[in-house]
């Protein structure tokens, strides 16, 4: 049996059950999509994300639906992020566990504090997936304590040259461990793009990838590359991927941006299911305006 066939069988088994407000994709749809993208770590990730088991993950038709949120409501990012582990990041999943309740120390700058501490990974020897600076299990880190946020704020708000920011210096010191560039010239070109993106958002507002494509932006991608979030058990908005656009939106005081949901906590999905099946009750009153409930309330 080939590795691709093994991946396909595991994916189909793990997405057989139904739970939620939207129908499950048909088997034929799953089979077709399964051949599009097979991450090397899919079998490992389906059953274990660090201490988080996601063998109860589900997949829904609403994976391409965008919701609109206030960037300031997204205060944390999960590290390592789910996008590294889900079988196909084009879809939306449900996962149980305490991944939405494990917070990092509020006095550490990420990732510099972890690099300084020399913390070793407990995930194994695969440094591409589990760099040593990562917390030892899925953890929520305050976005404002990322060196990237601090650097962007210093550059755009305080006028600090890129070369003098924490982010720039870290990239130099760590040897450009990124798929986007592998030289200092590549880093400079990337930061020139960030400058351009900031100025564009400042002048024209926040635009979806589709809007940018319609305007002929050759660097724009599809809906699956919008800012991706996860939703905790009581509706907390947690960044998964798309930190550049989110940070810039925060700095520009933009109050409404489109995002797509990658992972919902199982308990949050149960709330969605309850509202969809039984209507909106008083016990959920404080959640009436939650952006991820509007489709089941209406």
- What tens digit of pLDDT does each residue of 224-264 get? 788 999 999 999 999 999 999 999 999 999 999 999 999 99
Q: Which residue has the higher pLDDT, 225 or 33?
A: 225
Tens digits of residue pLDDT in 39-60? 333 333 333 334 444 433 455 5
User: By the 8 A CB rule, do 224 and 260 touch?
Assistant: yes
Predicted structure pTM score: 0.76
The greatest distance separating any two alpha carbons of the chain, rounded to the nearest whole angstrom, comes to 58
203 is a domain residue: yes
d(CA 21, CA 260) in angstroms, rounded, equals 17
29 is a domain residue: no
**Per-residue model confidence (pLDDT) at position 239:** 96
DSSP per-residue letters across 147-158: HHHHHHHHHHTT
Q: Which residue has the higher pLDDT, 249 or 86?
A: 249
18 is a domain residue: no
Position 77 pLDDT exceeds 80: yes
Choose the most confident range, by mean pLDDT, from 10-24, 136-150, 215-229: 136-150
Q: Which residue has the higher pLDDT, 115 or 14?
A: 115
Name which of 267, 246, 288 is nearest 72 in CA terms.
246
Token output for 107: 């006095």
7 is a domain residue: no
**Per-residue model confidence (pLDDT) at position 139:** 87
Domain hosting residue 196, numbered range: 62-297
22 is a domain residue: no
Tens digits of residue pLDDT in 146-170? 999 999 999 999 999 999 999 999 8
Q: Which residue has the higher pLDDT, 119 or 187?
A: 187
**What SS3 class is residue 273?**
helix
**Per-residue model confidence (pLDDT) at position 192:** 95
| Average pLDDT of the residues in 185-193 | 91
**Per-residue model confidence (pLDDT) at position 135:** 57
Neighbours of 56 (CB within 10 A): 14
13 is a domain residue: no
d(CA 252, CA 160) in angstroms, rounded, equals 17
Considering the chain, what percentage of its residues have pLDDT values greater than 70?
68
| Average pLDDT of the residues in 181-208 | 91
137 is a domain residue: yes
32 is a domain residue: no
What confidence tier does 213 reach under pLDDT thresholds 50, 70, 90? Answer: confident
| Average pLDDT of the residues in 76-90 | 84
d(CA 92, CA 291) in angstroms, rounded, equals 16
Number of domains in the chain: 1
């Amino acid at each position: 049996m080939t590795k691709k066939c093994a991946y396909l069988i595991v994916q189909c088994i793990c997405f057989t059950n139904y739970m939620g407000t939207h129908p499950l994709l048909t088997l034929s749809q799953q089979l077709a999509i399964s051949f599009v993208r097979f991450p090397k770590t899919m079998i490992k990730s389906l059953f274990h994300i660090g201490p988080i088991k996601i063998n109860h993950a589900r997949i829904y038709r609403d994976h391409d639906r965008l919701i609109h949120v206030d960037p300031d409501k997204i205060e944390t990012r999960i590290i390592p992020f789910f996008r590294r582990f889900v079988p196909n990041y084009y879809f939306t999943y449900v996962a149980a566990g305490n991944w939405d309740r494990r917070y990092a120390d509020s006095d550490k700058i990420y990732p510099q504090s972890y690099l300084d501490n020399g913390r070793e990974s407990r995930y194994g020897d695969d440094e591409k997936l589990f760099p040593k600076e990562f917390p030892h299990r899925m953890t929520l880190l305050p976005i404002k304590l990322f060196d990237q946020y601090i650097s962007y704020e210093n550059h755009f708000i305080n006028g600090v040259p890129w070369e003098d920011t924490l982010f720039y210096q870290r990239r130099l010191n760590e040897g450009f461990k990124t798929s986007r560039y592998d030289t200092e010239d590549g880093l400079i070109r990337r930061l020139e793009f960030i400058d351009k993106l900031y100025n564009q958002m400042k002048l024209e507002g926040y635009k979806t990838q589709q809007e940018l494509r319609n305007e002929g932006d050759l660097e724009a991608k599809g809906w699956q590359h919008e800012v991706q979030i996860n939703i905790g058990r009581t509706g907390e908005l947690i960044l998964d991927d798309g930190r550049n656009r989110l940070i810039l939106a925060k700095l520009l005081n933009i109050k409404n941006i489109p995002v797509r949901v990658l992972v919902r906590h199982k308990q949050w999905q149960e709330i969605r299911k309850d509202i969809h099946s039984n209507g909106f009750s008083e016990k959920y009153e404080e959640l009436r305006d939650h952006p991820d409930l509007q489709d089941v309330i209406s």
